Amino acid sequence: MKKLKLLVLASGGGTNLQAIIDAIEQGKLNAEIKAVVSNNSKAFCLERARQHDIQAIHLSHKMFATPEEFDQRFLAILKENEADLIILAGYMKMLSPTIIRAYKNRILNIHPALLPSFGGEGMYGIHVHEAVINSGAKVSGVTVHLVDEVYDHGAIVLQEAVPVLDDDTPESLQERVLKTEHKLYSQAIQLFAEEKVDVKDNRTYIKK
Ligand code: GRF
């Protein structure tokens, strides 16, 4: 089985990144993280990468005169590292159509709710869990999906439900959902390592 080369993009603490690192180290995920790229030089995700001898790269639009120059640099990083998949793990920027087209069906994102509910612009972080609780929904969950040019829209790869409890606050729900995120993301990436994912008409089909 081929070892997948991953490039992880993250903006924050990177607990999902950590879960992927752990899954690789435990032999549950047949992949290698070639680099972690963050738009935030102080983000702890970069520190996590360094602690595991993974290349940590600060790359922000602010470093370039135009968005096209950012894309060229990012594409060069992908090429240098022969990245098979781009993994968005709490990356707070939208990728450009140039990148999304260059990596069609090879960019994954994780969302802390059951898409297509509670997704779209402004639905990130604690806002997602606030919206779930305010809706009165009894079930939330985790979605791992491919990234296309529409926010939170690409084909769904895996989903898992997480109960919403009567005494949940957005924070307690977030904590429970995050635990499932940490498990589900590596499982989804492993499906790609095993070449089990077919994509057709915005749906994925997982081979047994
Ligand atoms: C996660 O909740 C993920 O679903 C969302 O951003 C958050 C990132 O958290 N896309 P962390 O940095 O991995 O802890």
pTM for this predicted structure: 0.97
Average pLDDT value for residue range 135-143:
98
Mention every residue, 6+ apart, whose C-beta is less than 8 A from residue 114: 139, 140, 141, 142, 143, 159, 161
Give the residue whose CA is nearest to atom 9 of ligand 1: 90
Respond yes or no: is residue 111 known to be catalytic. Answer: yes
Does residue 43 line the site of ligand 1, with CB under 6 A? no
**Strand 31-38's sheet: what is its strand order?**
55-58, 31-38, 4-10, 85-88, 107-111, 139-146, 156-163
Tens of pLDDT, residue by residue over 58-74, are 999 999 999 999 999 99
Query: By percentage, how much of the chain surpasses pLDDT 70?
Result: 100
Ligand 1 pocket mutation, candidates 8, 9, 16, 171, criterion most atoms within 8 A of CB: 16
Residue 19 alpha carbon, nearest atom of ligand 1: 13
Does residue 18 line the site of ligand 1, with CB under 6 A? no
Task: Kindly state the DSSP code that residue 137 receives in the 8-state scheme.
Answer: -
Residue 111 alpha carbon, nearest atom of ligand 1: 4
